[in-house]
Structure 1
Amino acid sequence: MCHNCYPAVATAAPSRRSVARFLAAGAGLTALAACTPDAGTRPPSSSSASATSASASQAAAPSTAGPATSPTVTEPGTTPPAVPTSAPTPTSPAAGLAQQHSLTDPASPWLVVNKHRPLSPADYVPADLVQPNIALAVSGEAAQLNSTTAAAAEQMFAAAAGDGVTMTLASGYRSYGTQVATYNSYVASRGQAEADTASARPGFSEHQTGWAFDIGDGGGACSFQPCFAEQPAAVWAKANAHRFGFVVRYPWMFHEVTGYYYESWHLRFIGVEAAADMSAKGIATLEEYFGLEAAPGYL
C-alpha cells in the first residue's frame, strides 16, 4: 500500500495519499506523502453523485491532536502482537480453492497484512528480491520485488503494452528501516493520529513483503493522486490484473474494511487462481475473501 512512502533522505519516489485539506488548498505532495489518498478524497469523475456523497460523509478529516513524537512501534527482534487465523475460514469464499496457503507467513502469496495483522517477524526481508525486467520509475530497493511477483509483473506489463498501455513500476519493495524513517517523519510533522491515516506503521506494510507494488502510467499523469484511477494504466489494471494473479488491494469505498482509502495504483499478487476467483465472485477485498475481520484502525 503505498501508504508508506519514502522519507526525504531515501531514493526519490512519487508522493501519495494526500490529506483532504491539503488537496483542497492545492498543496503539492512531498516525498513524505503517503500513497493512499486521505479522508475526503473525491472519486473519479465517472463516479456517481451518490458515491461522492457517501465518500464525503465517511471521510471526515482526522484529528491532528496526536502526539508530535513517534509512537511505540515493533522493533526488529521483538515479538509483534499475535496474528489470528492462519488459513481461510471454512465458510470463506476462498475455502473452496484446491490450493491453500498461509495467511500469516510473509513468504506466502495469501499473506494478509493490515492494521490488525502485522508482519512476523516485524523486520521480515524477502529472500528472493530481484529487479523485474519492466519499465522503472524508481531505483534501488524500490525497484525490487520478490521473484514470483516480478515474473508475474513482467507478463502483465508485456500484455498491457500489447494493448497499447504503458505501465511503470512506481514503488516496489520497502524495507522495515525505510518504513521506520517514513512513519516517524510523519508523526514528527503531523502527530500520530494524522500519521496513521497517511502512512503504515513499521511492520504493517505490504511493500515490505515483496508481494505488492505501485504502478505508474507511461504518460506520467496523476501519480499517486485520485485522478490516477482514470489513467490508461489504472483502467487496464482494474480490468485485467486478475489474469496475472493481481488484485487492486485497496478498492474504492472499502476503507472501513482495509483501513486505507482507494489506491488505484497499488497492486498485490495473490496468484492467478485466487485473483480470478475473487474477480468472478465480485469480491473486492482480501479480508472478505479469506473470511477475516475488517481492520479500519490499529488495535
Structure 2
Amino acid sequence: MPIPNDIPVAQRVSDPQKDGQSAQHKTGSTNPVMRSLRAVPWWGYGLAVIAFLTPLITTRLLFVFSELSHNKSVAVSQTAQPQTSQPQASPSPLPDLTASKPQPTVTTPPEPIADSQPSNGASVMFGHFAYEEAPANTLRPISRAGDGYEIKLRDAAAKSYLSMVEAARAEGIDLVAISGFRSKEDQRQLFYDISRERNQTPAQRAQVSAPPGYSEHHTGYAVDVGDGTNPSTNLSPSFDKTVAFQWLEKNAARFSFELSFPPNNSQGVMYEPWHWRFVGDDQSLATFYKRRNSTTSGNPSSFTAPSAR
C-alpha cells in the first residue's frame, strides 16, 4: 500500500473529492500564491526588503552628497569673489581722485629775511650779505645833511636813534648821523661811478663800499655815526678814539643798536667803528640774523676785507 509521499503530485492536487475536507485542512489553502509565500524562509523576506530599499537609500545618499558638494563650492566661490573683484571695485588711489581738484591756497606770511636774496641769486659778495630796500613808507627822517638831503631810517630805528641822540646830548656827547637809508641806485652810483673815477677793481672798491644790493643801508636799519666835535674821524677807524664812540660802546645797546662789524667779525668785513645797526624788533633781528649761517661761507679769511658802507 502506497504511502502519501508516493502518491503523484498531480493526483494529490487534482483529487480533492477523495480527501474531502481533510485535504483542504492539511494544505491550509488552495491559493498557490499563499503557498509560495509560506514556502519562503524568514530571512528571504529580509533580503527582499534590503534589495528594495538599497536603490532608494543609495539614491538619497548620492543626492545628499551632491548637495553638500554644491554648497561647499558656492561657499568657496563667495569667499574668493571679493578678493578677485576687489581691485576692480576699489576706488582709485587718493592722488588720482584729488589730482583734478583745485587745492586750497595757503597764504604764508613772508619771512622777515626774505628780502636778503637779490635778483641775481647770490647771497654773499665780497663778504657782504644781500639785502633789499626798505619800503619808502616805512622810513622817517632823523637828520638833514648840509646839502639838504634827508637822512632816514625805518620808523622803529629812527625813534630809537633820536632817543639815543638825546641821551648822549644830555651827557655832552654830540652824535651826528652821516648816512642812513640808501637805495640800490644810490649804492650803484657810489660803487661804480667812484670806482671808475679812481680806477678801482670791484674787489678794491668793495673795501670801502658794498656793491649795490649788498649794503646794510638798504634795510633802513643801519646808520653811520660821527662825532660832531671831531668830524675828521668820520668814516675812519680812528673814530673809535673819540668820546662819541666810547659813549656808544657803553650805551648803544640800551637803545637796541649794535656795532655791525667789530674787529675780527665772522664775515671778514673790515672793522668799521662808525657803522651801527638797529636790532630792536622782530623784523630787524631777523633781517640780520636769520639764516645767517646758511649764507656765510664759514671761512672769513677767504673774503677780501671790504667795507659795509
Q: TM-score, normalised by structure 2?
A: 0.50
Matched, 1:148 2:148: no
| Equivalent residue in structure 1 for 2:179, among 171, 190, 194 | 171
Structure 1's 270 and 118: CA in aligned 2 closer, same or farther, altered over 3 A?
same
Instruction: Say whether the 8 Å CA contact 2:113–2:290 is kept in structure 1.
Output: no
Q: Which amino acid aligns with 1:171?
A: S
Q: Which amino acid aligns with 2:237?
A: P
Q: Could you list the per-position Cα deviations for residues 190-222 of structure 1 after superposition, in whole angstroms to 9, with x for gaps in the alignment?
A: 122312222211111111111101111021241
Instruction: Say whether the 8 Å CA contact 1:258–1:287 is kept in structure 2.
Output: no
- Indicate the residue corresponding to 1:267 in structure 2: 276
| Equivalent residue in structure 1 for 2:130, among 118, 121, 133 | 118
| Equivalent residue in structure 2 for 1:213, among 214, 219, 223 | 223
CA distance in 1, matches of 2:279, 2:131: 16
Stretches (4+) displaced over 3 A: 101-106, 113-117, 123-126, 136-142, 272-275, 286-298
SS in 1 for 2:273: strand
SS in 1 for 2:269: coil
- Indicate the residue corresponding to 2:165 in structure 1: 157
Q: Could you list the per-position Cα deviations for residues 139-178 of structure 1 after superposition, in whole angstroms to 9, with x for gaps in the alignment?
A: 5555111111110101111111122211011111111111
Q: Could you list the per-position Cα deviations for residues 119-157 of structure 1 after superposition, in whole angstroms to 9, with x for gaps in the alignment?
A: 24xx6544321112x5x5455555111111110101111
CA distance in 1, matches of 2:155, 2:283: 19
Alignment of 1:60-71 (within 5 A): none
CA distance in 2, matches of 1:289, 1:238: 27
Matched, 1:104 2:124: no
Instruction: Say whether the 8 Å CA contact 1:246–1:272 is kept in structure 2.
Output: no
Identity %: 28
| Equivalent residue in structure 1 for 2:244, among 226, 230, 233 | 233
Instruction: Say whether the 8 Å CA contact 1:142–1:174 is kept in structure 2.
Output: no
CA distance in 2, matches of 1:114, 1:271: 24
Matched, 1:198 2:198: no
Larger fraction in helix: 2
SS in 2 for 1:234: helix
Q: Could you list the per-position Cα deviations for residues 21-74 of structure 1 after superposition, in whole angstroms to 9, with x for gaps in the alignment?
A: xxxxxxxxxxxxxxxxxxxxxxxxxxxxxxxxxxxxxxxxxxxxxxxxxxxxxx
Structure 2's unaligned 5+ residue stretches are: 1-110, 117-122, 305-309
SS in 2 for 1:264: coil
Q: TM-score, normalised by structure 1?
A: 0.51
Instruction: Say whether the 8 Å CA contact 2:174–2:227 is kept in structure 1.
Output: yes
CA distance in 1, matches of 2:248, 2:291: 20
Pick 1 or 2: higher relative contact order, CA cutoff 8 A, min separation 6.
1
CA distance in 1, matches of 2:188, 2:148: 17
Q: Which amino acid aligns with 1:118?
A: A
| Structure whose CA Rg is larger | 2
CA distance in 2, matches of 1:274, 1:164: 32
* Greater displacement, 165-174 / 289-298: 289-298
